[in-house]
Structure 1
């Protein structure tokens, strides 16, 4: 229990201390007008109070991610606590802050546009495709589960439940951000927080003690911690999906100083939620072996329902059902909205179509494949979401590092976690079944080699930037 409580304390202290360091390095200026005012058009650009934006951001980036992912990551044991805390403060929250604030500074630009600005057009083309695919995968994955649960609890068929969800998706993706998202989502965000806090308090009084820190890998299937833990627990530690969601709120922020509370703060809140559910997974079933058996029988949804109803009674059952139905739907909704916003930029650029017509034109090509994917195996979808998600996170961190390097600021704050995630992603795709499925030792060797090559490129960019500064100073002295 001591490790669990210390972990929560470190996350809270980290928000009040490290977030200010990150904010100082970025350099805010509340005299700058934000896109919510300069681009105000009543659909995506609309000023919103920071507390409301924070709750919406939390719901957008969280959904079931910090619950299902943390429960699955709990199979590795208390070492998951380290990854959640360090990953959240040093990588994930930094990632979210820069993805939101860079969007804000670049007129509410979407993630691929930021990549193109700092990593080049070739990378922009690649990441545009990858990001839209990720959004479609997330929307599909977070739709199939709720539709199945609705079908099991009501007389409705799976197909009809799926159709109802997608009708809502289409309406929510097209309507102005303040109509549905701005009014209802803060309430759902509060429910997510209440559910996590209730489980956290109940954990303190359970018969089974929350395990304290050990670096031993307790996974019953003997799966390696590196890099699988870093992909299994993404929401709550670092998730590239967040970089596609942050621009939605970057277009609503009133002042630049609100960014720390909205982007960094929401990520820390998600980290706390992930800690609570990881602890619940390790504790409730007595061992990681017991947790694995429960996951095999009922899946993550069954585990969440069993823990909730056991700890909180009827209220827990209601919250579990709300969580497993509403939270993924809200994540799928904003994933579809985000992909629509990305396609809208392309529609506006190539077809010169703007306004509501452009929004409708951009919604169709992302909705059709999402509907089809929602009908196939959920496990298959989720495997591909994990790797793609962390690839996007890595690219966002490199984008932020290049921005800081270009701005002559302390770029290591993004560069070091970017290198770490490069190693994670490289090794994962080499080792994972959905990747090249190589032997573990070979994956480590090749992944390490790729990371070293990227490190050499990083050093080259640093030296190049320093030479430009030196040459510029020399020219001024001559003049």
Structure 2
């Protein structure tokens, strides 16, 4: 229990200390934001700070800090270290920089930002990579909730019926102004996500469950290696490239740059807290990592585990919160994924989105592709998403490092986590089942060499060149 409370305290302290360091380095000022200079009533819509925070939290969270943390808990309390320090030094920096740099560049999507700071070649890669990733996320987060809704309703309302219903909602959320659908329901579901996490934490503590103390021992029942598998599995609870696709949406709604720390970095810390709670609950509720593994197998995955934990700890109210968690939260990630895909394509081809007709040109094909992809078994594809997600985070961090370097700011806050995530992504794809399946003896040093090579390229391309590339004028 001491480890859990210490980890929680460090997370909160990290927000009140390190986030201020990151903010001071970046230097928010009083310049007008895109929300005030480019207001279009659709995507560029000024909103209140508290509402943007809750929308950002649900945008980046959804099921990520729940499902990823539960899976990460299979390695034991060592997962607490990654959630805490990953959130403070990697995830928070990643989200803050991707959102703030977007504000400085007219609310541009992450692919356009990467193009500015990492070159045209990377921009093309990121455009395709981002759209494919977002459509995959949107599709999976349509089929999963549809299947769950089919289990809770009469046989006539099967998964196919609910899939159409979910996609119709996605159509509205992707097409309509951000304050008409997302701005109205997201704050409510964001509050539900927080209440569910706090309720679970209270239930675990009050009802006397034992949260194990920190050990660096690998407790995974299948003896899967901590490095790099745990760092990819937890994903959203520590750092996630998906966040870089979501932050620009809120960058178009913020009315002051000085709100950025609480919205971007703050939402990431809140997600880290939620992930920490669920990681602790997963191993405490089932008394061991082996018990958690058996529960995951018995209940068909994390959804069943979430349902049992909430129902047992919180009773009928917990059951309702669990249903919101495993149905509404993924839907909330899916709709913003499709909306981000629309904005990425619009930025790519410079298509104005102030008219309904031009939004339809992009939205309809995207959702048709999602409908077609929903017929495919995504169990295998989703595993590739985990790696793709962390690779996107790596790229976004390198773009942030170059931005800071060009503006003669302390780039180490981004370059260090970017180097670390380069090692994670490279090592994972080299040794994972869905990757090249190379032996550890090769994958580990190769991952380190790749990360070192990225750092060397960054030094010679961004740090060492004279003032020709610095500072950036905006």
Do both proteins adopt the same fold according to a TM-score greater than 0.5, normalized to the shorter chain? yes
Residue in 1 that maps onto 2:199:
198
Q: How many residues align?
A: 468
Residue in 2 that maps onto 1:458:
458
Are the counterparts in 2 of residues 230 and 424 from structure 1 also a CA contact under 8 Å? yes
Per the alignment, do residues 347 and 459 of structure 1 end up closer, same or farther by CA in structure 2, a change over 3 Å counting?
closer
**Alpha-carbon distance in structure 2 between the residues aligned to 1:48 and 1:163:** 31
Q: How does 1:124-135 map to 2 (within 5 A)?
A: 124-135=123-134
Residue in 2 that maps onto 1:216:
217
Residue in 1 that maps onto 2:84:
85
**Alpha-carbon distance in structure 1 between the residues aligned to 2:178 and 2:244:** 18
**Alpha-carbon distance in structure 2 between the residues aligned to 1:13 and 1:308:** 28
Residue in 2 that maps onto 1:318:
320
TM-score (normalised: structure 2): 0.96
Residue in 1 that maps onto 2:294:
293
The reply to whether residue 386 of structure 1 matches residue 386 of structure 2 is yes
Residue in 1 that maps onto 2:22:
22
Secondary structure in 1 aligned to 2:235? coil
Residue in 1 that maps onto 2:335:
333
**Alpha-carbon distance in structure 2 between the residues aligned to 1:250 and 1:149:** 33
Are the counterparts in 2 of residues 344 and 358 from structure 1 also a CA contact under 8 Å? no
Q: How does 1:321-470 map to 2 (within 5 A)?
A: 321-348=323-350, 355-465=355-465, 467-468=466-467
**Alpha-carbon distance in structure 1 between the residues aligned to 2:144 and 2:186:** 20
**Alpha-carbon distance in structure 2 between the residues aligned to 1:166 and 1:288:** 37
Residue in 2 that maps onto 1:271:
272
Q: How does 1:84-233 map to 2 (within 5 A)?
A: 84-155=83-154, 156-233=157-234
Deviations 1:75-95 (A, max 9, x none): 000000000000000000100
**Alpha-carbon distance in structure 1 between the residues aligned to 2:469 and 2:192:** 54
- Kindly state the Cα deviation for residue 390 of structure 1 after the two structures are TM-superposed: 0.5
Secondary structure in 1 aligned to 2:237? coil
**Alpha-carbon distance in structure 2 between the residues aligned to 1:294 and 1:85:** 26
Residue in 2 that maps onto 1:281:
282
Are the counterparts in 2 of residues 347 and 353 from structure 1 also a CA contact under 8 Å? no
Deviations 1:301-350 (A, max 9, x none): 0000010011001111111111111000011000010001111123436x
Are the counterparts in 2 of residues 347 and 358 from structure 1 also a CA contact under 8 Å? no
- Kindly state the Cα deviation for residue 471 of structure 1 after the two structures are TM-superposed: 12
Residue in 1 that maps onto 2:69:
70
- Kindly state the Cα deviation for residue 362 of structure 1 after the two structures are TM-superposed: 1.3
Residue in 2 that maps onto 1:476:
none
Secondary structure in 2 aligned to 1:344? helix
Per the alignment, do residues 94 and 132 of structure 1 end up closer, same or farther by CA in structure 2, a change over 3 Å counting?
same
Are the counterparts in 1 of residues 127 and 348 from structure 2 also a CA contact under 8 Å? no
Secondary structure in 2 aligned to 1:151? helix
Which runs of 5 or more structure 2 residues have no equivalent in the other structure? none
Are the counterparts in 1 of residues 407 and 470 from structure 2 also a CA contact under 8 Å? no
TM-score (normalised: structure 1): 0.95
Are the counterparts in 2 of residues 348 and 358 from structure 1 also a CA contact under 8 Å? no
- Kindly state the Cα deviation for residue 366 of structure 1 after the two structures are TM-superposed: 2.1
- Kindly state the Cα deviation for residue 469 of structure 1 after the two structures are TM-superposed: 8.0
**Alpha-carbon distance in structure 2 between the residues aligned to 1:322 and 1:471:** 48
- Kindly state the Cα deviation for residue 463 of structure 1 after the two structures are TM-superposed: 4.5
- Kindly state the Cα deviation for residue 450 of structure 1 after the two structures are TM-superposed: 1.3
**Alpha-carbon distance in structure 2 between the residues aligned to 1:434 and 1:129:** 21
**Alpha-carbon distance in structure 2 between the residues aligned to 1:470 and 1:5:** 45
Are the counterparts in 2 of residues 35 and 45 from structure 1 also a CA contact under 8 Å? yes
Are the counterparts in 2 of residues 147 and 158 from structure 1 also a CA contact under 8 Å? yes
Residue in 2 that maps onto 1:50:
49
- Kindly state the Cα deviation for residue 468 of structure 1 after the two structures are TM-superposed: 3.3
**Alpha-carbon distance in structure 2 between the residues aligned to 1:470 and 1:333:** 38
Per the alignment, do residues 353 and 263 of structure 1 end up closer, same or farther by CA in structure 2, a change over 3 Å counting?
closer
Which runs of 5 or more structure 1 residues have no equivalent in the other structure? 473-479
**Alpha-carbon distance in structure 2 between the residues aligned to 1:286 and 1:99:** 39
Residue in 2 that maps onto 1:475:
none
**Alpha-carbon distance in structure 2 between the residues aligned to 1:462 and 1:377:** 43
**Alpha-carbon distance in structure 2 between the residues aligned to 1:206 and 1:133:** 44
- Kindly state the Cα deviation for residue 381 of structure 1 after the two structures are TM-superposed: 3.0
- Kindly state the Cα deviation for residue 140 of structure 1 after the two structures are TM-superposed: 1.4
Secondary structure in 2 aligned to 1:209? coil
CA RMSD of aligned residues (A): 1.6
Are the counterparts in 1 of residues 41 and 354 from structure 2 also a CA contact under 8 Å? no
